[in-house]
Amino acid sequence: MFCYQCEETNKGEGCTIAGVCGKKDEVSNLQDMLIYVLKGISISNIEAKKQGIKNEKADIFIVNELFSTITNTNFDKKYFLNKIKEALKLRNNINNEISKVQNYDAVTWNPKDDEDILRKAKEVGILSTENEDIRSLQYLLIYGIKGIAAYVHHAYELGKKDEEIFNFMQEGLSATLKELSADELTSLVLKCGEYGVKTLALLDDANTSTYGHPEPTDVNIGVGKNPGILISGHDLKDLKELLDQTEGTGVDVYTHGEMLPSNAYPYFKKYKHFIGNYGNAWWKQKEEFERFNGPILLTSNCLVPPKETYKDRVYMTGVVGFEGLKFIPDRMNEKQKDFSSIINHAKKCNPPEQLEDGNITIGFAHNTLINSADKILDAIKSGDIKQFVVMAGCDGRHKERDYYTEFAKKLPRDSVILTAGCAKYRYNKLKLGDIGGIPRVIDAGQCNDSYSLVVIAKKLAEILKVDINDLPIIYNIAWYEQKAVLVLLALLSLGVKNIILGPKLPAFVSQNVLNVLVENFKIRPNSSIEEDLKTLKLVA
């Protein structure tokens, strides 16, 4: 195997024996094989569309199975073997419908048996592209498209789709099979960022049109006296259906990790048994799931291989996979998912053990902040707010991420943090206070709600009649996996410059590609807190 798609990749170079995430070598190879076949489907499906043959099943299959390969989503060898076979069948059906089949191995190759798939999987991975810079650009594009896939998946579940986004994803995947120049691939990478903005807007519309605009909310981080179910991941529709089915059962529901922002949506506030948030970011789940006592539902990525002591309490749904865990099937015939098994399990469990108490304030997405624009502008003009610091992105388990906690603590009192994603768990429980009623940690929501930060920046630039890079906004962003790559590309497509990225730069970015990013966008890695505060002119 060779995998370098996440920030924690071994030695900052690549995982070659097993993934730091817990992924085994055969699973990694099968993920590469699945992506290879998805490229073949893309080429054939583009040709089919040219001939007037539309296949939404292929569009959404590509979306869902790219999502299944994102870090910490699916660890199940059997799942990937089955999906490769399903992908080959889907591709062959498209080939049978079109008048001309393109002469690419990913379009025409068919296995004899499972062993043939496993053999082929070792040949089509990352290192099959020899030129380091071309490989770097190809995988910057692929990882950006994986980020698009994750967000499109959630939007599609709520009935929102955009054929142009489907088409770009397939254009981008197809391009990685072709002999394109570095300039051509760079253009596609930036185009991926443009489609990233469109995708984030699509999911924002899906969430807010269904559940209302998030509003400032104090979220309970303590526990109740009833047994509970802990829901983690990102899928709001799963949360809605779980709340419907647990109502009146005596079972409470708590959010975990990236589900925290759901507490701010008006729709979910009607559920009296929706207690609040339990625990912290994804990487602490081994400790926190142990102490929750009740069952846990994983709805998307951010699964850590579970300990035997609580493994029997972990349930999966959607594209999540791990051998030996219970799985709740997808919706059929427009009916809700059936959560009766996890609810019955919860009834037999003790209430959660208390980890902490009190509240944290969330719910500052773009609708709330734009409605407060006058108050914010007044604070800027009066000098009460000198700087906004975007500290969005992902959290991770390594000690070096304490940097973000200490950075937040040392920011001058006239600066405000704008955040989205699980990176906020490094500082969202610090007592940083407010500025004239404006919290010094403004939490816009999940990683996809980075769109809110984009909307806010564009609105401020419009009101102040300045370029986006002349705003009193600076960027110190943490990344971990492929959705963060997509958010970064979205910012670059908007022309945002001078981004500090950490805790270390992606292993898949070659030195020459990094030089281009530095030259055109002034991206640089974080260093020491003191040096970064000086560089960003944030020394009090």
pLDDT in tens, 309-322: 999 999 999 999 99
Residue ranges of E strands in 64-154: none
Q: What is the pLDDT of residues 319-349, one digit of tens each?
A: 999 999 999 999 998 899 999 999 999 999 9
Mean pLDDT of the chain: 96
HSE of 83, CA atoms in CB hemisphere, 13 A: 28
Which residues fall within 8 angstroms of residue 220, CB to CB, at 6 or more apart? 275, 276, 277, 359
**φ, ψ (nearest 5 deg) of residue 500:** -90, 130
**What's the Cα-to-Cα distance from 435 to each of 254, 371, 454, rounded to whole Å?**
31, 17, 22
Which of 53, 112, 119 has its CA nearest to residue 88? 112
CB-neighbour burial class of residue 431 (10 A; exposed 0-12, middle 13-18, buried 19+)? exposed
* pLDDT at residue 535 in the model: 87
Residue 540 has pLDDT above 70, yes or no: no
Query: Please, which pLDDT band fits residue 401 given cuts at 50, 70 and 90?
Result: very high
Pairing mode, strands 438-439 and 434-435: antiparallel
User: 217-347 in CATH: which number?
Assistant: 3.40.50.2030
Residue 538 has pLDDT above 90, yes or no: no
DSSP characters for 273-322?
A: TEEEE-S-SGGGHHHHHHHH-S-EEE-SS------TTTGGGEEEETT-B-
Question: Distance between CA 101 and CA 84 in Å, rounded?
Answer: 20
The model carries a pTM of: 0.97
Rounded mean pLDDT, 464-470: 92
* CATH of the structural domain 10-210, one choice from 3.30.465.10, 1.10.3720.10, 1.20.1270.20, 1.10.10.10: 1.20.1270.20
Rounded mean pLDDT, 286-301: 97
* Residue 387 Ramachandran class (φ > 0 left, ψ -120 to 50 alpha, else beta): beta
> CB of 149 within 8 A of CB of 63?
yes
Pairing mode, strands 473-478 and 441-443: unpaired
Peptide bond between residue 503 and the one before it cis (omega within 30 degrees of 0): yes
Query: Please, which pLDDT band fits residue 303 given cuts at 50, 70 and 90?
Result: very high
Residue 201 has pLDDT above 60, yes or no: yes
CB-neighbour burial class of residue 299 (10 A; exposed 0-12, middle 13-18, buried 19+)? buried
Question: Distance between CA 514 and CA 136 in Å, rounded?
Answer: 10
Q: What is the pLDDT of residues 25-40, one digit of tens each?
A: 999 999 999 999 999 9
Q: What is the pLDDT of residues 204-226, one digit of tens each?
A: 999 999 999 999 999 999 999 99
113-116 long-range contacts, CB within 8 A, separation 24+: 114/81
Beta bridge partners of 24: 18
Q: What is the pLDDT of residues 112-129, one digit of tens each?
A: 999 999 999 999 999 999
**φ, ψ (nearest 5 deg) of residue 74:** -140, 125
Where exactly are the structural domains of the chain?
10-210, 217-347
> CB of 44 within 8 A of CB of 97?
no
Question: To which residue do tokens 């699980």 refer?
Answer: 422
Residue 539 has pLDDT above 80, yes or no: no
Which of 168, 218, 162, 151 has its CA nearest to residue 450? 151
Pairing mode, strands 415-419 and 387-390: parallel
Q: What is the pLDDT of residues 253-276, one digit of tens each?
A: 999 999 999 999 999 999 999 999
429 SS3 class: coil
Which residues fall within 8 angstroms of residue 370, CB to CB, at 6 or more apart? 455, 456, 459
Helix (H) / strand (E) element for 253: namely: strand 252-255
Question: To which residue do tokens 């291989």 refer?
Answer: 305
The span from the first CA to the last CA of the chain, in angstroms, equals 48
- Specify the DSSP class assigned to residue 96: H
